[in-house]
């Protein structure tokens, strides 16, 4: 990596797949010499703790750090402030199955800039995630252009924390729980804060297996149904939730653009309704079963 970065100063894209021998020194060289780098994809590669914090990639727009789904050691301590200063143009930031554990910056300097151009953030994981509301706020406090937010497996993030984010036009929110050994059954309230905030812009919503109470789901769905732009919502995953026929009727009857609806394992629905629906005609026929 040192050789490539030193002799390819105009390098714009680098993908390292299944690499285990790159050290912090290599990443430091990349930051020092490859100033035109726009895309860095570390697909299933080992990343040392401080490797991503060295050097500076002022034009970097995509950073992807992914780990295997069955990886045993996928924790990545990182300093978000240092990354924000080094990569101010970042638009896509993906950490799939990497457990980000934010750590404090090693200087007293107070950075005020975040990721002002960020459009997509993915911190989905199959393991327990350390991310809390404050950690998410530290990443997105200056990201008003965010369109896609993938928080699958992030059980410590709350609806109130999401409602405080500065992005007003979120289009895709993936917040479902998967992989049964890690499912949480502790009640979570406040989903209506999320659907109320982004009822006008949400195109895809995934809250599969999230333990929201029935009344909370009813209120949340009512906000989606009352949105002025009823043709916005296209995909809704309610698999494994306590969604009721009453709550479902309101949103299915109003969301005219809904093209995908997952109701599998929804125990409060009548027999025959608990399945995946594809296509608007298939979804409209569901209304006859919700009596």
The pLDDT of residue 229 is above 90: no
Residue 205: C-alpha distances to residues 70, 171, 174, 257, 262 (Å): 26, 8, 6, 13, 11
In the predicted model, is pLDDT for residue 75 greater than 80?
A: no
Q: What is the mean pLDDT of residues 7-33?
A: 84
Residues in the chain: 291
Q: Among 75-79, 160-164, 186-190, whose mean pLDDT is lowest? A: 75-79
Distance CA 131, CA 116 (A): 20
Cα separation values, 34 from 39, 46, 220, Å:
11, 20, 47
d(Cα 264, Cα 178) in Å, to the nearest integer?
13
Domain map of the chain by residue range? 1-112+126-135+152-158, 171-290
Strands 148-150 and 120-122, by their bridges, are parallel
Calculate mean pLDDT across residues 129-143. Answer: 91
Of the chain, the percentage scoring pLDDT greater than 90 comes to 54
Mean pLDDT of the chain: 86
89, HSE (Cβ side, Cα atoms, 13 Å):
11
Please classify residue 191 by burial: count the beta carbons closer than 10 Å to its beta carbon, then call 0-12 exposed, 13-18 middle and 19+ buried: buried
Cβ-count burial 206-243 (b if 16+ within 10 Å, e if not) = bbbbbbbeeebbbbbbbbbbebeebebbbbbbbbbbbb
**pLDDT exceeds 50 at position 250:** yes
Is the pTM of the predicted complex or chain greater than 0.85? yes
């Amino acid at each position: 990596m040192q050789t490539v970065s030193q002799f390819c100063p105009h390098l714009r894209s680098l993908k390292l797949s299944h690499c285990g021998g790159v050290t912090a020194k290599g990443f430091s060289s990349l930051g020092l010499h490859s100033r035109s780098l726009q895309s860095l994809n570390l697909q299933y590669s080992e990343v040392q703790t401080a490797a991503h914090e060295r050097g500076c990639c002022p034009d970097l727009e995509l950073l992807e750090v992914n780990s295997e789904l069955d990886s045993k050691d996928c924790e990545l301590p990182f300093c978000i402030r240092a990354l924000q200063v080094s990569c101010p143009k970042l638009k896509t930031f993906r950490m799939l199955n990497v457990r980000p554990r934010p750590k404090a910056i090693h200087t007293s300097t107070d950075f005020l800039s975040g990721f002002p151009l960020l459009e997509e953030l993915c911190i989905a994981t199959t393991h327990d995630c350390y991310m809390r509301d404050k950690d998410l706020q530290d990443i997105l406090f200056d990201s008003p252009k965010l369109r896609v937010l993938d928080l699958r497996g992030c059980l410590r993030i709350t609806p109130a924390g999401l409602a405080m984010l500065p992005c007003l036009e979120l289009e895709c929110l993936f917040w479902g729980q998967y992989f049964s050994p890690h499912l949480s059954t502790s009640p979570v309230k406040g989903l209506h804060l999320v659907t109320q905030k982004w009822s006008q812009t949400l195109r895809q919503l995934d809250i599969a297996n999230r333990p929201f109470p029935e009344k909370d789901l009813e209120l949340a769905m009512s906000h989606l149904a009352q949105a002025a732009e009823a043709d916005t919502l296209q995909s809704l995953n309610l698999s494994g939730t306590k969604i009721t026929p009453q709550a479902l009727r309101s949103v299915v009857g109003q969301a005219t653009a809904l093209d995908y609806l997952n109701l599998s394992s929804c125990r409060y629905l009548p027999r025959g309704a608990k399945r995946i629906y594809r296509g608007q005609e298939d979804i409209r026929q569901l209304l006859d079963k919700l009596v």
